[in-house]
Structure 1
Amino acid sequence: MPDMLSRSLTTIVHASVALGLTLLTTLWVTPTQAQQGADQRLKVTVERVQFKPEQFSVEAVGSARAKRSVTIYPAVADKVVDVNFSAGQRVQAGDILVELDSRRQQVAVNLAKVQLADAQRSVERLQRLRRQPGEGAIPQQELDDAITQRDMAEIELQRAQTELEDRYVRAPFDGVVGITDIEVGDRINEQTVITSIDDRSSLLLDFVAPESALSLLQTDNASLMVTPWQRPQQQIAAEIVQVDSRLNTDTRSIRARAELQNPDEQLIPGMSFRIRLQVKGRQYASIPESALLWGPRTPYIWVVEKGQARRVDVQIQQRQAGYVLVAGDIALDDLLIVEGVQRLRHGQPIRYSEAALESNNSADSSQPQASLGARQ
C-alpha cells in the first residue's frame, strides 16, 4: 500500500511538471511562431533595371602642336634697326616684328614715284596734242612709246616698293611669338632665324592607333576625349580631323590627327595627352556585379514578378566598372533583386521597401556613367 501511494504521488508530480512545461511553451513559443507566420515572404533589396549602351574604346598617347606654326626668316639680308616684340607676346597678322635698314629702298621708291609722275604727264600731253586737228597732230607711235614708258615706270615703282616692304618682317597670322636672339644692330641674312609664331587657338594632336581601331576612327558617332598628363582630372572633347591613307606594315598601326579647341590658350604646343576614343553600341541591361549569379550552364539574375522571385538566364555582353551589361528576358524598369539573392528560389514570395527602392533609383540617376572596359 505505501508503494502504491508513492507511485501515485510520483505520477502526479510528473504530470504537473509536464503541464507546467506545456503552459510555458504555449506562453513563450507561440507568439514567436505567430509572428513568423504573419509574413513568410523573404525580405530583399531591389532596384529598377536600367539600360546602357555598349562602349568600345581605344587609348593612345599624342603630342600637341599648334594649328598653324611657322619659323620666321627675313626675306633679305641687312642690318636690324628695330625689334618690336618680346617672347610670349600675342601679335596680329601684319604687325611689324623686325625692321631692317631701308634708307636706300626708301630713296628708290621716291625716285620711282617721280619718274612715274613725269611719264604720266608726258602721256597726258601727247593725248591732248593727238586730239588737236591739223598738221601739228602727234603720231600714234610717239603716244604709244610714252604709254610704254609710263607703264614701265609703274612697274619700277612696284619693284621699289616690294624691296622696301622686304625690310619689314611681319607676322603672317595672329599668334604668339617665341624667344628671339636678334638685337638692334645685328646684321642678318636669309638663313637667320628671327623667331617662331604659333596660332594656339586650337591644337592638333598626332597619335598612332592599332589596326583594330581603324573602324572606330572611321565611324561618325565616335567620341574623343583627351587628358593632359599634367592635369589628369581635366578632360577635353576633341574631334578626329584626319586619318592616314595607309597602315604602317611594320607596326600594324595607323596615324591619326585630332583637333581640340583652346580658346583660353592654357594648353601649349608640345604638351603630351592621353587620348581616349569611344564608340557606343547596342543597349543592354546594366546589372550590378553583386546581383549576377552563376548556374551550371549560364549566369542568371533574379527579378520580381507578381510579388515572387523569378529566375532569368542572361548572356554577358560587356563588363563595366561595377556593372555588367547582359542580354536576356529583361525589360526597362523591371525590379531587379540585388541583395538577398543567395536564399532565393523560383516562385518564392518576397517583400521589399518601396522607400528604399525610390532612394536607390534617385542615387543611380545622379551618378555619372562609370568608366568602360573591354568586351568579353
Structure 2
Amino acid sequence: MKKMIVLLFAVLHLNAEEIYATFDVKAEKSASLAFSSSGIVGEMKVDIGSVVKKDELLAELLNDDIEAMVEVSKVALKYAQSDYERQKKVQQHINVSLFESYAYKYDNAKVQLKYQDALLEKTYLRAPFDGIITAKHIEVGDVVSGQMITEVYDIQSLKARKLILKFDQKYHKKVKVGDSFKYKVDGDDTLYTGTIYKIYPTIDSRSRKMLAEVKAERFPVGLFGDGYITVK
C-alpha cells in the first residue's frame, strides 16, 4: 500500500507542470469617492491614512438650506396627516372628492419629505466599505459639482489584497481556477502559496499575456513579484 501511494505521488508529480507568472499587488476593493450633489465643502472628517468603517461619514457639504427644507416638510406632513385623519373619521358624511383632496395632500407631504431627505443625504459622503483612505483631493471651502465629478477621497480595503497574475497566452487551456501558485514578493525571500480563484476571459493584445487573480493579505499595494503556477 505504501509503495502504491509513493508511485501515485510520483506519477502526479511527473504530470504536473509549472508555468512562470509575474504579478502586481492590488487592493481587493478600491474606489474613488465623490459627492453626487453640488455645493461647497463644509467639513472633511478624515484624512490620508484614516481607517474607516462602512457607512462612516467622511465629508459633508454646507447644507443648512436643505436641513431647513426638511424641517418645513416635516411640519407640512404633520398638519396634512392631522387633516387627513380628522376627515377620515367623518368620511361617510363628506363629498368623496373633498376627502380625496385631503388624502392627496397627505400623500404629497410624505413624498416631499422623502425627497428633501434624499437631497440632504446627497450632501454627505460615506464610506462604501471598511478600508483605509489613501488620498484626499479637496479641502474645506472647495466647490464641487454633481455634474462634473470631483473626486474627494480614494479608499482601498485595509488588509485584503489580490495578486494580478500575468502569464503567456499559450497556456490559456492549461491554467484553471483552483491551480496552486507559489510566489515571492520583490525584496522578500519568503515563499508564499495561493490559489487561483479568477481567470480573465480575454488576452491582452499588446503583451499577449493572460491574467488571473490570487487572493492575499497585508502586502502594500503596488508591490510586484513572480512565481510559478502548478497545473496538472
TM-score bracket, normalised by the shorter chain, equals 0.7 to 0.9
* Residue of structure 1 aligned with 2:102, choices 138, 146, 156: 146
The partner residue of 1:256 within 189, 195, 211 is: 211
The separation in 2 between residues aligned to 1:116 and 1:206, in whole angstroms, is 54
The residue matched to 1:270 in structure 2 has which SS? coil
Give, in angstroms, the shift of residue 219 of structure 1: 6.4
Q: Which runs of no fewer than 5 residues in structure 2 stay unpaired?
A: 1-5
Instruction: Tell me the alpha carbon deviations over residues 24-80 of structure 1, each in whole angstroms, 9 at most, x when there is no partner.
Output: xxxxxxxxxxxxxxxxxxxxxxxxxx7642241111211122111110111122222
Change (3 A) 1:145 1:226: farther
1:91 partner letter: V
User: 1:268 and 2:220 equivalent?
Assistant: yes
Given the superposition, is the C-alpha separation of residues 248 and 179 from structure 1 closer, same or farther in structure 2, using an over 3 Å criterion?
A: closer
Spell out, residue by residue over 1:329-360, the C-alpha distance to the aligned partner (whole angstroms, 9 max, x if none): xxxxxxxxxxxxxxxxxxxxxxxxxxxxxxxx
Q: Can you list the C-alpha shifts for 1:212-244, whole angstroms capped at 9, x where unaligned? A: 322431265x2112321121x122222222223
Structure 2 counterpart of 1:163: 119
Which secondary structure does the structure 1 equivalent of 2:140 belong to?
Answer: coil
How much has 1:143 moved relative to structure 2? 1.4
The residue identity in structure 2 corresponding to 1:272 is F
- Residues 1:109 and 2:70 aligned together: yes
Aligned AA (2:122): D
One-letter code of the match for 1:156? Q
* Cα separation, partners in 2 of 1:96 and 1:245, compared to 1, 3 Å: same
2:149 aligned with 1:195, yes or no?
no
User: For residue 157 of structure 1, what is the amino acid of its counterpart?
Assistant: L
Match of 1:243 in 2: 199
Distance of 1:140 and 1:261 partners within structure 2: 67
Larger Rg: 1
User: Matched residues in 1 for 2:177 and 2:28: separation?
Assistant: 24
SS of structure 1 residue aligned to 2:174: helix
Give the distance between the partners of 1:163 and 1:249, measured in 2 at CA: 45
In 1, the alpha carbon distance for the partners of 2:126 and 2:169 equals 44
TM-score by length of 1: 0.54
Determine the structure 1 residue equivalent to 2:3.
Answer: none
Q: Which residue of 1 aligns with 2:141?
A: 185
8 Å CA contact retained: 1:60, 1:276: yes
Partner of 1:119: 80
Q: Classify 1:246/1:126 alpha carbon distance in 2 versus 1 (closer, same or farther; 3 Å).
A: same
Query: What secondary structure sits across from 2:84 in the alignment?
Result: helix
Looking at structure 2, the residues matched to 127 and 273 of structure 1 have their Cα atoms a distance apart, in angstroms, of 73
Q: Which runs of 5 or more structure 1 residues have no equivalent in the other structure? A: 1-49, 132-136, 281-376
Query: Cα deviations across residues 180-227 of structure 1 (Å, max 9, x unaligned)?
Result: 14222232333322110001432222233223322431265x211232
Residues 251-279 of structure 1: per-residue CA shift (max 9 Å, x gap) = 6x4422212231xx2x1222212132013
SS of alignment partner, residue 98 of structure 2:
helix
Partner of 2:187: 230
Decide whether the 8 Å contact of 1:119 with 1:146 is kept in 2: yes
For 2:44 and 2:152, the matched residues in 1 are separated by: 10
Tell me the distance in 1 between the aligned counterparts of 2:220 and 2:145: 30
User: Cα–Cα, structure 1 residues 164 and 247, in superposed 2: closer, same or farther, change >3 Å?
Assistant: closer
TM-score where L is the length of structure 2: 0.85
Q: CA deviation at 1:121?
A: 0.8
Instruction: Please state if 1:217 is matched with 2:195.
Output: no
The alpha-carbon deviation at position 249 of structure 1 amounts to: 6.5
Amino acid at match of 2:89: R
C-alpha distance 112-269 of structure 1, shift in aligned 2 (>3 A): same
Match of 2:23 in 1: 62
Looking at structure 2, the residues matched to 171 and 246 of structure 1 have their Cα atoms a distance apart, in angstroms, of 32
Q: What's 2:41 paired with?
A: 80
Give the corresponding residue for 1:174. Answer: 130
